[in-house]
Every structure is written in C-alpha cells, then in structure tokens.
A = this chain, B = another copy of it.
Amino acid sequence: MSKKNFRDKLRKVKQFKIDKNNDIDDIIHSLENTGFNAKRLAKGCEIYAQMIADTKCTKFFGLAGAMVPVGMQGLIYQFIEEGFLDILVTTGANLTHDIAETLGYHHLQGEMDLNQVDDVELHENEMNRIYDVFLPNNVYEGIEDFISELEIPDYNMPVSSFLKYLGKQLPQDSQSILKIAAEKNVPIFCPAFTDSGLALQLGFHFQKLNLNHFKDMLRMVDLAWDSKNAGVCIVGGGVPKNFIFQSLQFCPTSAKYAIQITMDRPEPGGLSGATLSEAMSWGKVNKDAKHSMIISDATIALPIILWYLKTRV
C-alpha cells in the first residue's frame, strides 16, 4: 500500500465520552472511533445490521459454548423470533439444556466464590458444575421422561428434521430455541449430535435410531450453494464454525459478511481461533467481505449486539 493511500485511510481516534442521555446507538457509534476490541465490537454491530438490511442475505449463525446454561437461551430465542438468523448450527449440549429449561428445570447461579466450591462435594450432592453455573442431576430424569414418550416418525431422518420434530413436541409459551426455530422454519444443524446428553438418552431408548448425519451435511451444502449473499455470525468456534465454513466453500460468493465472537486466538493453530482472514484463503469468506473478529466473552458481546439490533427493528 502506498504511503498516500495508507494515510488517506486513517482518521483521528476520537476520545470516548459518555452522556447520561446516551443510548446504545450513541455508544456503539462512539466506540467505532476507538480501537482494539471496542472498535471490533462496534464494527460487528454495524455489520450485523447490514446483514439484516440486506434482504438477499442468508444469515448463518454458529453457536458453541454453554450459552443456554449461562442464560443466553432467551437471547437466541430473540435472534430467531426477530428473523436475525436464518440457519442455526449448534451443539447437542445447547439443545439438551434448551429442553431442560423448557421442561421447567433450571440452571442455578449464586454469590459464592468459585474457590469456595468443592467439586467432590457437588458430586455427592448430585450437582453438576458449568464454571459458575450449576445443574442438578435430576434434570436428566426429566429429559428422560420427555424422550421416552416420543413417537419418532422416522429413525433415519436427518438430525435437522428430527430437531424440527422435537421442537414441535415442546410446550407452547416457552423460550425454547427448538420450539421457536420449528415455528419459524429456521433449520437447526447439529453435526456432533451424538456428543450430548440428549443423544445419549435417545440412543438408550431407541436402539435402532440412525439419524442421517450425511443428509444434514449435504442439505447444508445446498443451502450455502443457493445463498445469494451469505453472512455468518460465529459464537465461540468449534464444530459449528467449521461446519458453516466448510459449506460456504460451495457458496458462489462465499461469505460477504462475517462476524466472530470468541476468546480463542490464532497462535495455537486451531480453527476456533483462526482469523476470518485465514478463511479467505480457503474461499470460505469473500475477499471483499465486511468482517470483524471480536475477542470477547460472548455473554458480554452478544447482549450488546442484540440490543443494538433491536433498536433498528
């Protein structure tokens, strides 16, 4: 890049100030004039808003991490309800915990210090720990009861079809991700489905179950193939990130918008922390894509992004 071109691209950092009457829009626009991850977050908000405004854009959303246990089930529900995502790729764990919450069980949290928590004692008390969130074992009995009453119409259907069927069995008036996705015709993909408590119980009860993972894979490729303007938002990384990105290689334009929120970093070489630029070498992200990788705990960044988007609806 020539000296002149480079200078032309630069503008002043504006020192951040706040007024008590500021709203989320003001704050995000102020942060755009700073740097580091504040700027990346502001840019992420802006790119997501553009994805929504682009009526030709298919919005792929990857969700890893214990987002439902920590209290982000309601947030994902709102993303789906508002039409902020078109295709969800997630983990079996998030779906297991979605069912638990939907059946009336609850994850727990509290005021104690983590170093006052004894994992051996927790085990004796049948309380499972997910960092600073706790889940009583009896939740799994509730899920088991729910599973045992299912009448699965086809033992060989794709996982995504099964998840839609499952969503329909869940009670109305819940904040269930599975439920709202089924209602809104948002497909949910779960490539590592058998890596979950939900699948374990299905496997124990329906010994002949052989949900077709390959059909999901091909269906996902078709969805990418048919996308005019693909956009992605990756929360965490893991299988959901890779599964979306391997499909986007078959999208004619690859991703034109790309956001990732993660605490992972590139140096250890894993895909979760790989930069969005690296994905350009693979043809997963378009060379002209608007993109932002936000190094942040998703529980902080996602609520801010949703808040920003909600003010624009």
Contacts and interface: CB of A to CB of B under 8 A. Distances in A.
A297 B296 contact: yes
Given A31-B303, A71-B34, A214-B211, A195 B194 contact: no
A228 interface: no
Main SS at interface, chain A: mixed
Contacts of A270: 64-66, 236
Contact of A108 (B10, B71, B266): B10
B217 A203 contact: yes
A299 B38 contact: yes
A18 B35 CA distance: 27
A214 B202 contact: yes
A210 B214 contact: yes
Contact of A117 (B115, B221, B238, B311): B115
A313 B268 contact: no
Interface of A: 1, 3, 6-7, 9-20, 22-23, 27, 30-31, 33-39, 41, 64-66, 69-75, 77-78, 93, 101, 106-123, 125, 127-134, 156, 175, 191-197, 199-200, 202-204, 207, 209-218, 221, 236, 238-239, 242-243, 246, 263-272, 274-275, 277-283, 287, 295-301, 303, 306-307, 310-311, 313
15 contacts: A9-B112, A12-B109, A15-B77, A15-B101, A17-B175, A23-B23, A30-B303, A119-B280, A131-B278, A133-B269, A192-B239, A195-B217, A196-B246, A211-B213, A268-B295
